[in-house]
Amino acid sequence: MTTIDEKRKEWEEKCLKPWLQKAGQREEKFETLSGIEVKTVYDPADIEHIDFIRDIAYPGEFPYTRGVYPNMYRGRFWTMRQFSGFGTAEDTNRRWKMLLEEGETGLSTAFDFPTLMGVDSDDPLADGEVGKVGVAIDTLKDFEILFDGIPLDQVSTSFTINPPAGIILAMYVAIAEKQGVPKEKIRGTIQNDMLKEFHAQNTLVLPPEPSIKIIVDIFEWGIENVPKFNLISISGYHIREAGSTAVQELAFTIADGMAYVEAAMERGIDVDRLAPQLSFFFNSHNDFFEEIAKFRAARRMWAKIMRDEYGAKNPRSWWLKFHTQTAGCSLTAQQPLNNVVRTTIQAMAAVLGGTQSLHTNSFDEAWALPSEEAVRVALRTQQIIAYESGIPNVVDPLAGSYYVEWLTDKMERLAWKYIEDIRKMGDGSMLRGVLRGIENGFFVREISDAAARYQREIEEGKRVVVGVNKFTIDEELKIPILKVDPEVQRRQIERLRKVKAERDNEAVREALEWLRSAAENNENVMFPIMEAVKSYATIGEIMGVLKDVYGTYKKPIII
């Protein structure tokens, strides 16, 4: 009988080689977006070392390569969760209600930069930025308006915010109480991932060590108080947007996740109590198969890490659940409707990769925040994949593909290599390794180098971006662009002044004093933050105390 090896050699000699001599091929070699060289074709020999039961298995079973749930989208579709927010709480509340009416199934909050950085709307640093790229939040009053008419026992809400994550979580709990929903029942996610801020996204306020301390405070408090809430969303998304490869995104995200687990365990938190409240967030870029492989590899890696390295015993702790956003950085200002196609491919990769929730970008986002029409098409893209394509009807249909399994394995190996290097930097501790990598610029340099490489390929025409360096046209932009009302800043400052005038300032002062003493004495800061929020202390006041105690962080400049 002919073996596969013999057959392949015969094919290469008798079939492929003469064909190449005659017809040639487009490129000398082909690579994924991460630079992994790929062969013409894959066959069973490429996945010989992969054991079906050990490495792939069935969905809902260790190592969860095929998905965390046994029947995945046959039970329920992923949550359709559009990242959304602009202007005042009223503006955003209106957009949210529109999206829910259009069939969105979860909320996701975009904050403006002053809120993200923990400064109030009347701070001189906030001038010109209030309500621009997200909703402006200063006090609980804004949250009351934001969630007006939105029942917190029925929706789950995601909050993309980091240094003030604890404050926002406290506000959500306070709103639930006002609506009469027990805090044990509220569902959602706070991003709360400072490590990736140091690597990439740069929303930086406090130095790394106290940032981690506060994150662990939130874990400790959240496990007891909001057991259905994801207390962190360990995010590769921004690492990728900053220019990393898919392999780096995978490796650094898993490394950060390990660092958080180690930090929690050092505090004495039981890994099995924390794990179910961890979630992840990935990017989905253009290289279709590489993205699918990345998601599958991430799940397999995390299951092994949680079970074998950190000794988690509950199978639920081995699950890597993740949100996906299509790649904002892949969108072009040129020929914006082409972005609908890019987003569709990326969204399909996310669904084939088994995501738990998905944000699809709008086609106008290289120009401004999405207009209503653009965000509707983005949501419809998910709905068409869900209801029309048939893709969600079989779990992990690409399993067993020689190429996809080979690439999943390859991504995993390359990511492990990075993780081992980081661990070495920390003398065996991932937490110390990641902190060291922040300190010595390792992450920033790796990501910058990859971003420069990607740009060079575009400049040299080696990487085609349709409508940008090939198939270009002279065009006039015809799509409508969302304009944020320039009055927003004035209105927001007015509201802030009114709240400050009407609140019980003595209660605010006491809560902030409690916070200061908790921070100084290394106690959990979430209890006083909860109190401060309820007394209508502003985000700037609360972050101000933390800045006083812990100092602020200035990032070293590495180009």
Q: What are phi and psi of 32, to 5 degrees?
A: -75, 175
Q: Which of 185, 470 has the CB closer to another protein?
A: 470
Minimum distance, C-beta of residue 469 to another protein, in the bound complex (Å): 6
Task: Identify which of residues 119 and 377 has a Cβ nearer to another protein in the complex.
Answer: 119
- Provide, rounded to whole angstroms, the least separation between the CB of residue 132 and another protein: 3
Cα 285 to Cα 245: distance, rounded to the nearest angstrom: 10
CB nearer to another protein: give 536 or 553: 553
CB of 243 to another protein, least distance (A): 5
Torsional sign, CA 109, 113, 118, 121: negative
Nearer to another protein by Cβ, of 157 and 334: the residue is 334
**401 vs 469 by CB, closer to another protein:** 469
Burial 433-454 (b: 16+ CB within 10 A, else e): bbbbbbeeebbbebbbebbeeb
Nearer to another protein, 113 or 260 (CB): 113
Residue 84 CB, nearest approach to another protein (Å)? 15
For the CB of residue 233, give the shortest distance to another protein in the complex, in Å: 17
Place of tokens 């039970």: 75
Minimum distance of another protein from residue 127's CB (angstroms)? 6
CB neighbourhood size of 234 (10 A): 28
Q: Say how many C-beta atoms besides its own lie within 10 A of residue 227's C-beta.
A: 15
Least distance CB 557 / another protein (angstroms)? 4
What are the structure tokens assigned to 18, written together? 């003469």
Q: Enumerate binding residues for another protein (CB under 8 A).
A: 113-114, 116-117, 119, 125-129, 132-133, 197, 201-204, 241-243, 329, 331-334, 365-369, 448, 451-452, 455, 458-459, 465, 467-469, 477, 481, 483-484, 555, 557, 559
Strands (E), 287-378: 322-326, 357-359
DSSP character for 358? E
3-state SS, residue 283: strand
Q: Considering the complex, state which of residue 72 and residue 378 has its C-beta at the smaller distance from another protein.
A: 378
CB 449 to another protein: min, Å: 10
Considering beta carbons, is residue 54 or 456 the nearer one to another protein? 456
369 Cβ contact partners less than 8 Å away, ≥ 6 residues apart = 86, 133, 482, 484
CA dist., res. 288 & res. 33, Å (int): 10
End-to-end Cα spacing for the chain: 58
Task: State the Cα–Cα distance between residues 138 and 159, nearest whole angstrom.
Answer: 15
235-259 as b/e, with b when 16 or more CB fall inside 10 Å?
A: bbbbbbbbbbbbbbbbbbbbbbbbb
In whole angstroms, what is the distance from residue 100 CA to residue 82 CA?
Answer: 10
| CB nearer to another protein: pick between 38 and 366 | 366
Token digits of residue 199: 């690597």
The pair of three-digit structure tokens given for residue 112, joined into one six-digit string: 């403006």
Q: Find the shortest distance in angstroms from Cβ 5 to another protein.
A: 45
In the complex, least distance from residue 286 CB atom to another protein, rounded to whole angstroms? 14
Closer residue to another protein, CB minimum distance, 32 or 339: 339
For another protein, the closer CB: 277 or 361: 361
Percent composition of the chain: helix, strand, coil (DSSP 3-state, to 5): 55, 10, 35
The least distance separating another protein from the CB of residue 326, rounded to whole angstroms, comes to 15
Sheet containing 156-159, strands listed edge to edge, beginning at the edge strand earlier in sequence:
229-230, 187-190, 156-159, 106-109, 79-84, 357-359, 322-326, 278-284, 232-235
- Which CB atom, from 341 or from 481, has the smaller least distance to another protein? 481
In angstroms, give the least distance from the CB of 255 to another protein: 20
CB atoms within 10 A of CB 430: 24
Please state, in angstroms and rounded to a whole number, the distance separating the CA atoms of residues 376 and 414. Answer: 38
Give the span between the Cα atoms of 335 and 143, in whole angstroms: 37
* Vertex 209 angle, CA 204 and 214, to 5°: 80
Q: How far is the CB of 89 from another protein (least distance, A)?
A: 18
Q: Which is nearer to another protein, 394 or 477 (CB)?
A: 477
